[in-house]
């Protein structure tokens, strides 16, 4: 009870307002945990030597401001506001400001997409011209709801060895839209969703917007703790589990074959569905990592598979696809129609021809050579320059590393982000990947997709100097 102790020094401000403000500060500072039960009205009024009505009004004010909620017959509970949104907006605004000026003045470690300098513009331009010559105005018209049939055929043939019916493949405008339309189609208010902790902030935003009950499961080098996973499943009716099966954003972790099989068995046993965001699986550098998606192992139709071409291809084309279980196919297709009717017809046809001409495979092979070299170089720089200040997991592929600042370094990721920006370096703060920002304060992500070796070494040396001065920012 001592943390609730409050001295009423300002007679002009009502006591209930002062009490509410004090409790808000305790919640914001994590001294009162999210979901923690607040003292009973009688107990707190006695402790603070005020009448019961004062506490009732204080609790009502907390509820109105989104800091508390009531459970009938149980009492009042603390609720932490989504302050992550504030930091995400701050981060986004800074990146927009930088982009609108001259991004080339910065060492950009924030990239989540392949660098456009490696994109073969000439070959893609020729493909677009060939599509326009071949199809004329048809190339610019809306296509059927599922997407251009030729592209769906190519996806089934080249990526699934014709093991997927093209009527089960839905073309979408990138992975983010895929997550969004799936959520609208199958997830209702108060449904229970399990996510990895940390996880992709865009998915978290979608699930929060759907007002779901989100369970977070800590992710380690070998994936989530399956025993803890099953305990949640036994006690709760879970609708779905969202996962990035390869080079998870932000940790870089990939699931092994045994883990995938066990999770699929649990999905059938406990009647939930897996939303698989197949993130950057093309960029495997470690020969010990085998590619086997959840969907390829799915014998009971439990996996909703989402894949984006935008991450490793040209971001501006905004094309991806998803494959859903038969049970949800119609609902997800309707959700897509209600969102934007159709994804760009011209870009779908161009991508289809690009894949069929063999350009896609050649492009990916070249990209892997370039990025494996950068990956190895960045890993070497981290080990050589930052080894006494951070710890990290070696992902074996993808486009980034996720670093944890050692406890003896007195700086959090937002302070580091702001100091880096002053020094013309951009990083991604770890707090953006957690439901509760207090879990991500000591983490940050750096990507090598938009930087060359000289920039990688220079940027990491500057980050090292800023971490060394950590005490200065306290």
pLDDT digits (tens, 9 = 90+) for 56-68: 999 988 888 878 8
Class of domain 84-111+362-473: alpha beta
Give the pLDDT confidence score for residue 121 in this predicted structure: 84
* 279 band by pLDDT with thresholds 50, 70 and 90: confident
| SS3 track for 241-267 | EEECCCCCCCCCCCCCHHHHHHHHHHH
* 98 band by pLDDT with thresholds 50, 70 and 90: low
pLDDT beyond 70 at 79: yes
Average pLDDT value over all residues in the chain: 89
pLDDT tens per residue across span 14-49: 999 999 999 998 887 778 887 889 999 999 999 999
- Which of 100 and 302 is assigned the larger pLDDT? 302
Q: Where are the domains of the chain?
A: 2-78, 84-111+362-473, 137-357
Range in 159-168, 243-252, 257-266, 306-315 the model is least confident about:
306-315
pLDDT beyond 70 at 304: yes
0.75 exceeded by the pTM? yes
pLDDT beyond 80 at 453: yes
Share of the chain above pLDDT 70, in %: 93
DSSP string computed for 253-308: ----HHHHHHHHHHHHHHT-EEEEE--STT-B--TT-----TGGG-SSS-EEEEEE
Give the pLDDT confidence score for residue 90 in this predicted structure: 64
Class of domain 137-357: alpha beta
Closest residue by Cα to residue 136 from 349, 318, 358, 351: 349
> Could you count the other beta carbons within 10 Å of the beta carbon of residue 156?
19
3-state helix vs strand vs coil in the chain, percent to 5 = 50, 15, 35
pLDDT tens per residue across span 379-391: 999 999 999 999 9
* 231 band by pLDDT with thresholds 50, 70 and 90: very high
* 85 band by pLDDT with thresholds 50, 70 and 90: low
Topology of the domain comprising 2-78: Arc Repressor Mutant, subunit A (1.10.10)
């Amino acid at each position: 009870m001592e943390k609730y102790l409050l001295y009423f020094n300002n007679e002009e401000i009502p006591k209930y307002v002062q009490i509410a403000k004090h409790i808000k500060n305790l919640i914001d500072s994590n001294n009162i945990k999210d979901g923690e039960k607040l003292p009973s009205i009688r107990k707190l009024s006695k402790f603070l030597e005020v009448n019961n009505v004062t506490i009732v009004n204080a609790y009502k004010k907390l509820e109105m401001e989104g800091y508390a909620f009531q459970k009938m017959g149980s009492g009042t509970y603390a609720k932490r506001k989504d302050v992550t949104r504030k930091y995400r907006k701050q981060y986004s605004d800074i990146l927009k400001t930088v982009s609108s000026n001259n991004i080339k003045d910065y060492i950009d470690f924030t990239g989540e997409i392949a660098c456009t300098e490696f994109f073969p513009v000439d070959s893609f331009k020729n493909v677009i011209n060939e599509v326009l010559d071949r199809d004329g105005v048809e190339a610019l018209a809306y296509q059927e709801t599922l997407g251009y049939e030729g592209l769906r055929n190519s996806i089934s043939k080249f990526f699934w060895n014709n093991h997927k019916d093209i009527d089960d493949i839905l073309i979408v405008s990138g992975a983010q839209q895929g997550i969004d339309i799936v959520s609208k189609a199958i997830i209702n208010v108060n449904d229970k969703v399990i996510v990895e902790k940390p996880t992709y902030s865009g998915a978290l935003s979608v699930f929060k917007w759907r007002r779901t009950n989100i369970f977070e499961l800590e992710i380690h080098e070998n994936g989530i703790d399956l025993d803890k996973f099953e305990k949640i499943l036994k006690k709760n009716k879970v609708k779905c589990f969202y996962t990035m099966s390869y080079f998870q954003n932000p940790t870089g972790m990939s699931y092994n074959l045994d883990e995938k099989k066990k999770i699929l068995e649990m999905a059938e046993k406990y009647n939930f569905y897996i939303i698989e965001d197949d993130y950057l699986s093309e960029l495997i550098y470690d020969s010990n990592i085998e590619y086997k998606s959840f969907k390829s192992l799915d014998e009971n139709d439990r996996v909703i598979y989402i894949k984006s071409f935008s991450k490793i291809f040209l971001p501006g084309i905004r094309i991806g696809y998803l494959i859903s279980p038969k049970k949800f196919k119609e609902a997800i297709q309707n959700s897509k129609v209600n969102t934007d009717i159709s994804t760009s017809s011209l870009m779908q046809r161009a991508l289809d021809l690009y894949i069929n001409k063999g350009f896609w495979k050649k492009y990916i092979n070249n990209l892997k050579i370039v990025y494996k070299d950068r990956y190895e170089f960045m890993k070497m720089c981290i080990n050589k320059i930052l080894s006494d200040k951070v710890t990290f997991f070696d992902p074996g592929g993808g486009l980034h590393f996720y670093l944890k600042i050692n406890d003896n370094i007195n700086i959090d990721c937002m302070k580091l982000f702001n100091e880096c920006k002053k020094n013309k370096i951009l990083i991604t703060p770890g707090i953006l990947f957690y439901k509760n920002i207090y879990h991500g304060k000591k983490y940050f992500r750096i990507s090598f997709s938009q930087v060359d070796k000289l920039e990688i070494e220079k940027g990491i040396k500057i980050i090292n100097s800023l971490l060394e001065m950590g005490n200065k920012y306290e």
